[in-house]
Structure 1
Amino acid sequence: MAMLDMRDERAEAGAAEVGAAAPVQTRAFDVIVIGGGPAGMAAALAARKAGTRVAIVEREQHLGGILRQCIHPGFGLSHFKQELTGPEYAQRFINQVRETEITLFLDSMVLGIDSSEGAGASSVDEGAGAAAVHTVTLMSPAGMLQLTGRAVVLAMGCRERTRSEIKIPGSRPAGVFTAGLAQRYINIENLKPGSRAVILGSGDIGLIMARRCTLEGISVEGVYELMPYANGLRRNVKNCLDDFGIPLHLSTTVTRVIGHDRVEAVEVSQVDEHLAPIAGTERIVPCDTLLLSVGLIPENELSVAAGVELDPRTRGAVVDQSLQTGVPGIFACGNVLHVHDLADNVTTESERAGAAAAAWALGGDAGASAAGTSCELMVSPAGIAGYALPGRITAVALTKLNFRARRPVDAARVRILAGGEELLTGKVRPFKPSVMESFPLPAKVIQHALDLGVSEIVLSIDPVEEA
């Protein structure tokens, strides 16, 4: 593993004339990956395999990202054909990274990404031509650094929604945590967040923490879900709630937090079909801890500052088939692009992004347009489809569309539409919001849409009335 040794540079800076500003040090790479979690490591390994000089910038002191605290099994079934815990899954990639010449900048925070057309291209690669060179400015323990490269992969992951973002009324006592923070306290810090917990939200992390708290001797009074269905994977509902006798209350939410210095209870209420609390259904649930599992938000502040367009549905970047954003040479993958259901899917997607970034950095095409005629089509969701990705099609080539249903349905089909005409339809089957779906879009269907003279392809999930 190649590590940056800043001792000589610090010595030189210390010997500089007093009052003189030391120049910001610069390192040149082909591909710069921001984020050292499962997405970042998979992208970096794929880019390195393609023969590029790769750097990973990670704000924590260790690689692995969120998987370091996910000690439950269920990882690796697809990618490694084995059931692993989160740390075991992450360690396999950490070991691979350490066996390569990927340069690591750990405990380093990226401050910004700047792009310049052509300027400085020769410092990255004499064959760069007029391609944009991206400068990633970061603050490390050794001071401020600048990394230059023709391709940048955004792999910053996501963060949890907090109480302030869902605006739960009541007092502001201690004892309200996001489920992920409570998971870190228990699994990493060996701290007990409370003794009697209520969990709001049935996302996977909330379900997993219901089981984890129970195993640690914390009484879980129940899991309360705003929607009329569970938002986590069915296997987690069974393994984490049903097997431990933890009740799941659907169409119910927390309407008030009660307590002075510490949470003493929460008020829960049933909600109507418009998700509004129903008067008269309120009841008080004594507890000293409230865990929130109410959604994840892609960490895209850097992306926006770099000029990357975001999809309002996913809150991630708008990308094409090669996972390239609207800013040439900047790619996105993993949970910073759209929230995934499985880490294995993050790995598969991120390997594509890393390979495409390497192809771009080496002076070729990002991948998709090299396989077919270039074009420009937008992709939009319809029916009960919550989103469709990629949001742009830039090549007439076989394309895998990823999407999720906004609500569960027992019988529905995917339809691909253009200009009001149905181009392709899938089989009738059930869909669940907790499962990330995919649908292959053949090149001939894309060409058909172009022949119609449209600028948009629509992916629609349409419920089917059963006979």
Structure 2
Amino acid sequence: MRDYDLVIIGGGPAGLSAAVRAYDEGIKNILIVERDNKLGGILNQCIHNGFGLQRFKEELTGPEYAQRFIVEVKKRDIDIMLNTIVMDMHEDKTLLLMNEENGMFVIKPKAIILAMGCRERPRGALNTPGSRPAGVYSAGTAQKLVNIDGYMPGKKVVILGSGDIGLIMARRMTLEGAKVECVAELMPFSGGLKRNIVQCLHDYDIPLYYSTTISGIKGTERVEGVYLSKVDEHLKVIEGSEQFIECDTILLSVGLLPENELTKEAKIEIDPKTKGAVVSDKLMTSVDGIFAAGNVLHVHDLVDFVSEESELAAENAAKYIKGEFKKDGSHKIDLVAGDCISYTLPQYIDYDNMDDSIIVKFRVNNVYPSRKIAVYNDDKCILSRKKRVLAPGEMELIKLKKEDIDPNSKKVTIQLEE
């Protein structure tokens, strides 16, 4: 096998946009490794519109959005290996790959970009009482069955979880002739975008029950119905609140997890909050020369942000390959999630390599009306702005300027204030 300067693991929106940008930054010896039989990743089954509003200023379907980048990749001399699995990744950037054509083989590039995306949290992680009848699907699996395979999972549906995939599938199942009885959400707020709640539930008169979970599943061979119960502030089922809803299908939209088995194998530090790699503002992980971007790093609400983040990772990987990177780790400034903040991305600033300004992403841990976003460099407030509503389903962005950060400081804290 030939040697590569850059290997990108994953051929979805993150991997595609990273490959195009890295090539345009002067790295011509690039390989995209994709385990599926085509490029595009999860976007291939997302046939609804709403993609690309920020990037292309028009509404595209998932396949259309992916195709924009596939076309750009194919214009460039970028190698692609489909149906190829990365079996192992080591700290020295050695990759063990396998496909039908070459068997098992080894590649050791100068840099790696992780762009493996994310996966759905399975039913086994929920401890849902009841038997294991047919008719229980993850929302993403149901989406593939309907949009790719042309198969309807069922006719009377209850959806657990109000993440964006669950909301979108409520509308999709309705349009295909199914009756969506309700969407139940464990938390007192939705994890999805507000526009999806309006367009996918309100527009179709589908009820959304907050602080509600499935307390039991009825059925032996096939789902016959579910028991829904209210939960208290500790997310414990409230006795006596149970109601039975007849259905033949349950869709689970209970969260996404970054696909990070390879990341862990390479002994890359993982953030317990995001479940993705800990990265600097250059999106480099704790292993020198390995970068990460997209949903493998943290779960995004818009694919436009995935592309933007992946291009940043590609720019920095190109600098690393060309030897333009100062040694990372000599001057780290921690980015700290303060009051009401769930996590920040990146987790720290590499001050020596920092650009004149950087974008920091964060999510809040609850719904907060009319709060102030405040940023402190040690004890000094360097940024403050008011926002009418903040919710966990919407990623927040702030710009930090290098000139505002004391090079001798230890941390930058982001928090909400009254």
**TM-score under structure 2 normalisation?**
0.96
Is the alpha carbon distance of 1:414 and 1:72 closer, same or farther for their aligned partners in structure 2, counting shifts above 3 Å?
same
Give the count of matched residue pairs: 413
- CA–CA distance in 2 between the matches of 1:318 and 1:350? 15
Assess if the C-alpha contact under 8 Å between 1:27 and 1:148 holds in 2. Answer: no
- CA–CA distance in 2 between the matches of 1:458 and 1:429? 21
- CA–CA distance in 2 between the matches of 1:307 and 1:140? 25
- Selected match of 1:72 from 20, 31, 48: 48
- CA–CA distance in 2 between the matches of 1:401 and 1:419? 17
Instruction: Name structure 1 gaps, 5 residues minimum.
Output: 1-25, 117-133
Max radius of gyration: which structure?
1
- CA–CA distance in 1 between the matches of 2:266 and 2:231? 41
Q: Would you say 1:30 and 2:5 are equivalent positions?
A: yes
Assess if the C-alpha contact under 8 Å between 1:385 and 1:460 holds in 2. Answer: yes
- CA–CA distance in 2 between the matches of 1:313 and 1:240? 29
Residue 68 of structure 1 deviates from its aligned partner by: 0.1
Residue 365 of structure 1 deviates from its aligned partner by: 1.3
Is the alpha carbon distance of 1:428 and 1:97 closer, same or farther for their aligned partners in structure 2, counting shifts above 3 Å?
closer
**TM-score under structure 1 normalisation?**
0.86
Assess if the C-alpha contact under 8 Å between 1:30 and 1:362 holds in 2. Answer: no
- Selected match of 1:97 from 73, 76, 85: 73
- CA–CA distance in 1 between the matches of 2:404 and 2:223? 56
Residue 272 of structure 1 deviates from its aligned partner by: 1.2
Q: What is the 5 A alignment of 1:235-384?
A: 235-365=195-325, 375-384=331-340
Residue 285 of structure 1 deviates from its aligned partner by: 0.8
Instruction: Name structure 2 gaps, 5 residues minimum.
Output: none
Q: Would you say 1:88 and 2:67 are equivalent positions?
A: no
- CA–CA distance in 1 between the matches of 2:318 and 2:55? 22
Assess if the C-alpha contact under 8 Å between 1:30 and 1:358 holds in 2. Answer: no
- CA–CA distance in 1 between the matches of 2:108 and 2:77? 17
Q: Would you say 1:433 and 2:389 are equivalent positions?
A: no
- CA–CA distance in 2 between the matches of 1:155 and 1:276? 36
- Selected match of 1:211 from 164, 168, 171: 171
Assess if the C-alpha contact under 8 Å between 2:91 and 2:267 holds in 1. Answer: no
**Amino acid in structure 1 at the alignment position of 2:26:** G
Q: Output the aligned Cα RMSD.
A: 1.6
- CA–CA distance in 2 between the matches of 1:361 and 1:314? 27
Q: Would you say 1:198 and 2:150 are equivalent positions?
A: no
Residue 66 of structure 1 deviates from its aligned partner by: 0.3
For 1:23, the equivalent position in structure 2 comes to none
Residue 113 of structure 1 deviates from its aligned partner by: 1.4
**CA displacement, residues 316-353 of structure 1 (integer Å, 9 cap, x when unaligned):** 11111110011110000000001001001100110111
> Sequence identity, in percent?
47
**Amino acid in structure 1 at the alignment position of 2:360:** L
For 1:45, the equivalent position in structure 2 comes to 20
**CA displacement, residues 136-181 of structure 1 (integer Å, 9 cap, x when unaligned):** 1111111112222111000000000111111111111111100000
- CA–CA distance in 2 between the matches of 1:46 and 1:186? 34
- CA–CA distance in 1 between the matches of 2:305 and 2:392? 16
- CA–CA distance in 2 between the matches of 1:424 and 1:243? 39
For 2:35, the equivalent position in structure 1 comes to 59
Assess if the C-alpha contact under 8 Å between 1:380 and 1:388 holds in 2. Answer: yes
**CA displacement, residues 326-383 of structure 1 (integer Å, 9 cap, x when unaligned):** 11100000000010010011001101111111111122218x98xxx96211111011
**Amino acid in structure 2 at the alignment position of 1:335:** N
Assess if the C-alpha contact under 8 Å between 2:184 and 2:213 holds in 1. Answer: yes
